[in-house]
Amino acid sequence: MIDHVFVPRLLVYTARDCRLCSYARALAAVMGSRFPTVEVDVIDIDDPGVHVPPHVFAVPTFVLDGRVVSVGNPAPEEIQRTLAEAVRHVDLDC
């Protein structure tokens, strides 16, 4: 019996006045569609009550399972490769 299933989680930190963040939001949406087993959330640091972890010091920042994988927008191929590897590791652990 499986008590807990690990789901990779990609957090994309953005801000309203960030000129690069609209692309980050679009890239997050595409990756969420391509990797339905990855939880993808876009977090606007300007929203009230949002906690910004200390390792997020610029926007956009892409954080996968608590680890910064990109400060700034990654190349689509790069983030796709990173997510594919994360999914592969989850599949191997099951």
On whether the CB atoms of residues 55 and 63 are closer than 8 A, the answer is yes
pLDDT given at position 92: 63
If phi > 0 it is left, if psi is from -120 to 50 it is alpha, else beta; for residue 83 that is alpha
Reported as a single tens digit per residue, the pLDDT across 1-36 is 455 678 999 999 999 999 999 999 999 999 999 999
Return the structure tokens found at 4.
Answer: 């807990």
Using a pLDDT cut of 90, give the percent of the chain over it: 86
CA angle 53, 69, 78 (to 5 degrees): 155
Q: In whole angstroms, give the CA distance from residue 78 to residue 8.
A: 16
Domain boundaries, the chain: 13-25+40-65
pLDDT given at position 93: 57
Rounded to two decimals, what is the model's pTM?
A: 0.90
With 90 as the cut, is the pLDDT of residue 39 above it? yes
Sign, CA dihedral 25-27-30-34, equals negative
